[in-house]
Amino acid sequence: MEWREFQDLEAELNSLPAFEMNEQIFESMRAEIRTAQTRNVKQRRGRTWVTSLAASVAVLAVAGFVVSGVYERHEHHTTGDGTFEYQASADGLTLGVKDYSISGDNLTVDYELEQTPNASGSYKYDISPKTIDIQENWSSHPNATIDEVQSSLTSPTIPGRPPTQITSSQDGTTQVYDFSLTYVLPPTGVNQVTLFPYYLQAFPPLKTITISLPQSYPIMLNPGSDWAVKISNIQFLPDKTVVTYEPEGGFPQMPPIWFVDSAGRTYQQIAQDATTTTLTYPAISSTDGLTLQTQSIPGGGEDIPIDQIPIKSLEITIPLKR
Amino acid sequence: MYNGDVESLFVEHANDVYRFLVYFTGKRDVEDLVQETFLKLLRYQNSYRDIGSRQAWLFRVARNVALDAIRKQKNTVSIDESHVLEKELLRTVEDVVETRDRQALLTRSIQKLKSDFRCVVILRSIHGLSVKETATSLGWTEAKVRTTHHRGMKELQKMLMKNEDGGVDCGMA
């Protein structure tokens, strides 16, 4: 296909009608969603929802994802009575395949995932199936993958959809997810499928914001698109520097801030008073050329690059019996 | 920042999701699927934040909702009935595109693409999502998006040419 043809087709596709919903249906649906949202909020009462992008960023940044520790694999496969069980553990996570079934064009895998309270960090993971051990006609595509078409959570201890996100066991209990995923059945000839679990690790691109000091107060910081913090005062005292701030907008948290003097020395926060909105820094003798720095993070509508980190120890191969 | 206000998200993106579903399913009456998409968002909103763009996330959910619906439809329709259903599908698509024949042909050809091609062509070429957004939306790598998009466009072009040459009808009748 020539580049010109590609461009022409692209332009044609781009000019296809932009359908819109009937206004009446739109409004009635909007009302239903509002009702469902109100109900949902009530149901979630008592549960801590992640309200802080700052907190998420911090957790994501410190999570080390060490997966080379304890590793144990149990395999039990009995074809006679239909039971099937593979299990692998790594870093506080245990992934089990309890059963699989083939029906029509689909392969459904029944999983159980257990996360112990000491499993480190807050992370997401996904299960990506790959077809392997394929016969000659497919040997040129050894890395062919199969697509997930459906998921269901059969007996959750935690509401939600686990295959794409597992939060850490912050309440100190072991979390168990029992779920199944349905994939497109690989073509005839493929007799094994290997599951490649991986962590999804997001590192928002941070940008440093620099503000020259001293200047009149308040100083507004905008670390995120809907995140503003007002610094109402900075006191340069003989023994310490005290920053007083007021959070504004959706995020009540203060972003990390620090001072850099004209000689390039950095002054990091040494204390935060939990009862007030003040941050304490070491004494800064001269404010000549002093700057205040913080970092901006992307808002909800911006892209955050996501890396896939394979969890080798959790790979499980299912021999397909058709 | 997305703060759990699904109603606002609905107001902002309902028609994007609607448009995606019309092209993906080939049917105009996809309001139920739009609603299901946003209700799923309510149920799974915890998983939203780290996915990235909210539009990409919505398309991801919408695609899964559509695939579920198509599967259910397949499971409940016998072979003979499915033939009728395909004809019905074609009629509604043609009804939708009341413009030039070329656009009707293009829309029908999109329906004929296999699911992966269809999805990536709709997201990239009709909705104008970036490679990165499309990758996020489909849970693919950027390389896979580029390759699949190129192949999908090539396939689409092939179908259009066959039709223009009086060859095989790429519609479903």
Residue-wise pLDDT for A56-85, tens only, equals: 222 222 222 222 223 344 444 444 444 556
What's the gap in Å between the CA of A303 and the closest CA on chain B?
5
pLDDT at A86: 76
Nearest-CB residue to B18 (from A19, A165, A306): A19
Per-residue pLDDT of A206-250, as tens digits, reads 677 888 887 788 888 876 655 677 889 999 999 999 998 886 654
pLDDT at A254 over 70: no
- Are A163 and A129 a contacting pair, CB within 8 Å? no
pLDDT at A74: 44
Q: How does residue A204 score in pLDDT terms, banded at 50, 70 and 90? A: low
Nearest-CB residue to B7 (from A37, A53, A250): A37
Average the pLDDT over each of A185-189, A199-203, B156-160 and give the range with the smallest value: A199-203
Contacts of B99 in chain A (CB under 8 A): 17
CA A262 → CA A291, B59, B122, distances in Å? 8, 49, 53
Q: For chain A, give the secondary structure using H, E and C.
A: CCHHHHHHHHHHHHCCCCCCCCHHHHHHHHHHHHHHHHHHHHHCCCCCCCCCHHHHHHHHHHCCCCCCCCEEEEEEECCCCCCEEEEEEECCEEEEEEEEEEECCEEEEEEEEEECCCCCCCEEEEEEEEEECCCHHHCCCCCCECCEEEEEECCCCCCCCHHHCECCCCCCCCEEEEEEEEEECCCCCCCEEEEEEEEEEECCCCEEEEEECCCCCCEEEEEECCEEEEEEEEEECCCEEEEEEEEEECCCCCCCEEEECCCCCEECCCEEECCCCEEEEECCCCCCCCEEEEEECCCCCCCCCEEEEECHHHCEEEECCC
Q: How does residue B37 score in pLDDT terms, banded at 50, 70 and 90? A: confident
What 3-state class would DSSP assign to B32? helix
Span A75-100, average pLDDT: 65
Contact between chains at B153 and A17 (C-beta distance less than 8 A): no
Q: Which of A60-64, A162-166, B77-81, B155-159 has the highest mean pLDDT?
A: B155-159
Nearest-CB residue to A124 (from B38, B50, B125): B50
What's the gap in Å between the CA of A80 and the closest CA on chain B?
29
Q: Listing from the earlier edge strand, what are the strands of the sheet with A291-296?
A: A207-212, A291-296, A257-260, A266-267
pLDDT at A71: 34
CA distance A204 to A302: 9
pLDDT at B9 over 70: yes
Pairing of strands A278-282, A240-249: antiparallel
Percentage of residues of chain A with pLDDT beyond 90: 6
Nearest one of A196, A171, A201 to A181, comparing CA atoms: A196
Q: For B100-125, give the secondary structure using H, E and C.
A: CHHHHHHHHHHHHCCHHHHHHHHHHH
Within 96-155 of B, beta carbons closer than 8 Å to A belong to 96-97, 99, 102-103, 106-107, 115-116, 121, 125-126, 128, 130, 132-133, 136, 139, 141, 150, 153-154
Contact between chains at B42 and A37 (C-beta distance less than 8 A): yes
Contact between chains at A56 and B39 (C-beta distance less than 8 A): no
Span B91-112, average pLDDT: 65
Contact between chains at A29 and B39 (C-beta distance less than 8 A): no
* Residue from B50, B64, B65, B125 to probe the interface with A (highest A Cβ count within 10 Å): B50
CA distance A99 to A181: 11
Nearest one of A110, A111, A109, A95 to A146, comparing CA atoms: A109
pLDDT at A158: 37
pLDDT at B55 over 70: yes
pTM of the model: 0.41
pLDDT at A73: 42
Q: Which residue has the tokens 């395949």?
A: A97
Contacts of A56 in chain B (CB under 8 A): 49-50
Using CA coordinates, name the residue in chain B closest to A40.
B42
Q: For B37-100, give the secondary structure using H, E and C.
A: HHHHHHHCHHHCHHHCCHHHHHHHHHHHHHHHHHHHHHHHCCHHHHHHHHHHHHHHHHHHCCCC
Q: Which of the pair, A128 or A218, is modelled with greater confidence?
A: A218
Per-residue pLDDT of B118-129, as tens digits, reads 999 999 888 888
- Are A168 and A56 a contacting pair, CB within 8 Å? no
Q: How does residue A20 score in pLDDT terms, banded at 50, 70 and 90? A: confident
pLDDT at A174: 66
Q: How does residue A283 score in pLDDT terms, banded at 50, 70 and 90? A: very high
Average pLDDT, chain B: 71
- Are B87 and B137 a contacting pair, CB within 8 Å? no
What's the gap in Å between the CA of A317 and the closest CA on chain B?
21
Contact between chains at B128 and A300 (C-beta distance less than 8 A): no
Encode B62-93: b = buried (16+ Cβ within 10 Å), e = exposed.
bbbbbbbbebeeeeeeeeeeeeeebeebbeeb
Percentage of residues of chain A with pLDDT beyond 70: 50
Length of chain B: 173
Contact between chains at A1 and B126 (C-beta distance less than 8 A): no
Average pLDDT, chain A: 65
Q: Which of the pair, B17 or B164, is modelled with greater confidence?
A: B17
Tokens of residue A162, six digits? 């686990």
Using CA coordinates, name the residue in chain B closest to A21.
B15
Contact between chains at B7 and A30 (C-beta distance less than 8 A): yes
CA distance B113 to B135: 19
What's the gap in Å between the CA of A6 and the closest CA on chain B?
7
Q: Which of A122-136, A296-310, B20-34, B155-169 has the highest mean pLDDT?
A: B20-34
CA B169 → CA B27, B112, B120, distances in Å? 19, 10, 23
pLDDT at B173: 26
pLDDT at A182 over 80: no
Nearest one of A196, A210, A28, A200 to A128, comparing CA atoms: A196
Please give the DSSP secondary-structure letter assigned to residue B152.
H
CA distance A256 to A270: 12
Q: How does residue A297 score in pLDDT terms, banded at 50, 70 and 90? A: low
CA distance A284 to A239: 8
Q: How does residue B39 score in pLDDT terms, banded at 50, 70 and 90? A: confident
pLDDT at A66: 28
